[in-house]
Structure 1
Amino acid sequence: MNKRLIQILGFLTSSLGWTFVLCTMAMDYWRITQLGGQGGSFIIRVAWYWSNLWKDCFTDSTAVTNCRDFPVLWSVTPFVQGVRGLLMCGLTLGFFGVVLCFLGMECTYIGGADKTKDKMLFAGAVFHVVGGVSDISAYCLYINRVARTTFAPSIGPGVLRYDLGPPIFLGLVGCFLILVGAMFYAVTVYRVIFPESKVIYAYGDGTYMSPGTRGQTYAGYYGQYGSYLGSGRSSSSKISKLSQTTPTKMSERDAFV
């Protein structure tokens, strides 16, 4: 596939994932539980308790919602504070990754020379990977907290067993897209930034030379009967086996003379 197409696909994928994670910060129903709704009464009485990163809410069967905002920053529940911090860190790194990758793509005419753009693109991919890992850690921390209460054999009075809400799954999909986009970026520039070291065949007797000593070799041709390939450090010259002596055919005029 063309290098530009891969980079454009990576940009769209990583940007979409970053947007998904950003949207989950403001979404409701991170965790939700339902009370009531059972029994033989023709009047169904049901209530929902749900929470996000900023408040706890209660919604009754008449669709009236009452919420309690979380207190100030230093008195928030520790795990909620950790989830907020990890998500904000991941979003910040992802923002810098989007900017660097946009400047480093081959289809954009800003960012400098090609080698500089490749380095910027690779740096943006690294930012995306680190930010994606931070986002995944935040969601895993929240899931672990909910699962510990849900699957506990016994809980105290007044403690509810919550289920996971849609923002968790949307955020995990966004993290996956971020990592896939970073992989697309890295594939297009990895060989340019980290080229493979090549070995040069220098002598006919099986001796090999590394690229660092390539400039120390020279070739000289003497007459029409052979070729010479030597090293500046060696004291004795060697005749290359690759080019052997070939006799020159004399013309009939020279033979007559």
Structure 2
Amino acid sequence: MSVAVETFGFFLAAIGLLMLGVTLPNSYWRVSTVHGNVITSNTIFENLWYSCATDSMGVSNCWDFPSMLALSGYVQGCRALMITAILLGFLGLFLGMLGLRCTNIGGMELSRKAKLAITAGALYILAGACGMTAISWYAANITQDFFNPLYMGTKYELGPALYLGWSASLLSILGGICLCSNCCSSREDPTTRSQLPYKTPTVVMPISDEGDSSFGKYGKNAYV
């Protein structure tokens, strides 16, 4: 059962990593709202890398952000966190493949595999935490501008990419928790216990220096 939980956690975190990779280049991190907007035929949507505008004919024009240093601080921070999350996830994926007990790569011992699996689980948790922080930080700025009555710029709503990123981060964290908890609870595998050599206990009887002591306790008349 523990091997099944370990494998389930690995694939759960791998799916979360794949979804994080899809979230990063997704164009719909935020979408312009029609609430309080006079012109509703144009739609603006952005992500961490570029901004696009769609007119009433459905034609989209996109342009990259001109300068990274000219961007807002939270956009730069979200970029760094998302890239860090994906890198940590790939490292955890590699270590997890080596640490799974259902794989036989390099002929490693079970104790070493458990350490690799725990490290992979920790990396998955860190990757999910970085992704969750980036998505939540970006969403917080969207809602702050939306509910600010003094903000005169374009107001946006949460895009579908943010919900995808939240789900991906949650899957990555849950998969890492499954790996760590399962490996910590099964450090002493019962299969390895059965492989230990069994030695028959030996009982050493004390030997008296006087030879057979049963004859020395009685006199000769006791046997007549």
TM bracket, shorter-chain basis:
0.7 to 0.9
What residue ranges of structure 2 are gaps of 5+ in the alignment?
A: 190-202, 208-221
Instruction: Specify which structure has the higher proportion of strand.
Output: 1
**2:62 aligns to what?**
67
What residue ranges of structure 1 are gaps of 5+ in the alignment?
A: 196-218, 224-254
Distance 1:145 1:183, change over 3 A: same
**2:132 aligns to what?**
136
Task: Please give the per-residue CA displacement for 1:94-119, whole angstroms capped at 9, x wherever unaligned.
Answer: 11111111110001001511110000
Alpha-carbon distance in 2 for matches of 1:184, 1:143: 28
Instruction: Specify which structure has the higher proportion of helix.
Output: 2
Task: Please give the per-residue CA displacement for 1:182-230, whole angstroms capped at 9, x wherever unaligned.
Answer: 11111221034599xxxxxxxxxxxxxxxxxxxxxxx98769xxxxxxx
Q: So what's the TM-score if we normalise by structure 1?
A: 0.69
1:58 maps to 2:57? no
Q: Is the 8 A contact 2:17 2:172 kept in 1?
A: yes
Identity percentage of aligned residues: 28
Distance 1:188 1:162, change over 3 A: same
Report runs of 4+ in structure 1 exceeding 4 Å deviation.
192-195, 219-223
Alpha-carbon distance in 2 for matches of 1:194, 1:48: 59
Offset, 1:124 = 0.5
Q: Determine which of 152, 169, 178 is the counterpart of 1:175.
A: 169
Distance 1:45 1:84, change over 3 A: closer
**1:209 aligns to what?**
none
**1:93 aligns to what?**
88
Offset, 1:89 = 0.6
Distance 1:185 1:16, change over 3 A: same
Alpha-carbon distance in 1 for matches of 2:111, 2:177: 19
* Structure with more contact order per residue of length (Cα contacts < 8 Å, sep ≥ 6): 2
Distance 1:32 1:45, change over 3 A: closer
Q: Is the 8 A contact 1:9 1:181 kept in 2?
A: yes
Distance 1:194 1:175, change over 3 A: farther
Alpha-carbon distance in 1 for matches of 2:29, 2:21: 14
- Secondary structure class of the residue paired with 1:61: coil
Q: Is the 8 A contact 2:33 2:157 kept in 1?
A: no
Offset, 1:76 = 2.6
Task: Please give the per-residue CA displacement for 1:108-154, whole angstroms capped at 9, x wherever unaligned.
Answer: 00151111000000010111111111111101110111011011132
What does residue range 1-257 of structure 1 map to in structure 2 within 5 Å? 2-35=1-34, 46-111=41-106, 112-156=108-152, 159-193=153-187
Root mean square deviation, CA, Å: 2.7
Distance 1:160 1:109, change over 3 A: same
